[in-house]
Amino acid sequence: MRTKTYCGRTLQQVFADIEAETHDRGWRTSVLKIEHGSAGGFFGLFGRGKVSVTVALEEENPGEAVPLPVAPAVVGTAQAAHRAAPHPRPKTSRPRKRACIRRLTRVKVPSAAGHDAGSQPAKTAIPAILLRMRQQLMNQDVEPRHADRLVSAVAAETGSKAEKNPELALAAMERHIARRLPSSGPLTCIPNGLRVAVFTGPTGVGKTTTIAKLAARLCFSEKKRIALVTMDTFRVAATDQLRTYARILDVSCETATTPEELRVAVHRHADKDVVLVDTAGQSPSNSLRIAELRDFLAPIRPVETYLLMNAGMRIQDAEMCMESFGAISPDRLIFTKLDETSCYGLIFEVSQRFRLPIAYLTTGQNVPQDIQTADSRTMARLLLGAGGESPA
Ligand SMILES: Nc1nc2c(ncn2[C@@H]2O[C@H](COP(=O)(O)OP(=O)(O)OP(=O)(O)O)[C@@H](O)[C@H]2O)c(=O)[nH]1
Ligand SMILES: [Mg+2]
* pLDDT tens sequence across 318-329: 999 999 999 999
One-letter-per-residue 3-state SS of 270-336: CCCCEEEEECCCCCCCCHHHHHHHHHHHHHHCCCEEEEEEECCCCHHHHHHHHHHHHHHCCCEEEEE
Q: Classify residue 380 as exposed, middle or buried by CB count within 10 Å of its CB (0-12, 13-18, 19+).
A: buried
Nearest CA to ligand 1 atom 26: 206
* pTM listed for this prediction: 0.78
pLDDT greater than 50 at residue 266: yes
Cα-to-centroid distance, 69 and ligand 2 (Å): 25
Label the pairing between strands 274-278 and 226-230: parallel
Cα-to-centroid distance, 361 and ligand 1 (Å): 13
Q: Which atom of ligand 1 lies nearest, measured to the CA of 281? A: 25
pLDDT of residue 12: 66
pLDDT of residue 118: 47
Q: Which uninterrupted H or E stretch holds 6?
A: strand 2-8
Task: Give strand pairing partners of 5.
Answer: 54
Task: Say which residues have a Cβ less than 8 Å from residue 338's Cβ, sequence separation at least 6.
Answer: 68, 69, 311, 344, 361, 362, 363
Residue, of 138 and 4, whose pLDDT is higher: 138
pLDDT of residue 47: 33
Calpha distance 302→107 (Å, rounded): 47
| Averaged confidence pLDDT in the chain | 82
365 lines ligand 1 (CB under 6 A): yes
Instruction: Identify the sign of the CA torsion 271, 274, 279, 285.
Output: positive
Q: Tens digit of pLDDT for each residue in 302-356?
A: 899 999 999 999 999 999 999 999 999 999 999 999 999 999 999 999 998 899 9
- Radius of gyration of the CA atoms of the chain, in A: 22
Q: Tens digit of pLDDT for each residue in 82-103?
A: 333 333 344 457 777 788 888 8
Residue 65 in contact with residue 369, Cβ under 8 Å?
A: yes
Q: Which atom of ligand 1 lies nearest, measured to the CA of 211? A: 15
Q: Which of 68, 209, 283, 360 to mutate to test the pocket of ligand 1 (most atoms within 8 A of CB)?
A: 209
pLDDT of residue 3: 85
Cα-to-centroid distance, 234 and ligand 2 (Å): 10
Calpha distance 236→243 (Å, rounded): 13
Q: Which atom of ligand 1 lies nearest, measured to the CA of 370? A: 31
Residue 73 in contact with residue 100, Cβ under 8 Å?
A: yes
pLDDT-derived band of residue 49, with 50, 70 and 90 as boundaries? low
206 lines ligand 1 (CB under 6 A): yes
Cα-to-centroid distance, 208 and ligand 1 (Å): 7
Averaged pLDDT for residues 292-296? 95
Task: Say which residues have a Cβ less than 8 Å from residue 56's Cβ, sequence separation at least 6.
Answer: 1, 2, 3, 29, 30, 32, 62, 65
Looking at the chain, the whole-number percentage of residues with pLDDT higher than 90 is 54
207 lines ligand 1 (CB under 6 A): yes
> Can you state the angle between helices 376-384 and 128-139, rounded to 10 degrees?
100
Residue 343 in contact with residue 84, Cβ under 8 Å?
A: no
Averaged pLDDT for residues 234-263? 87
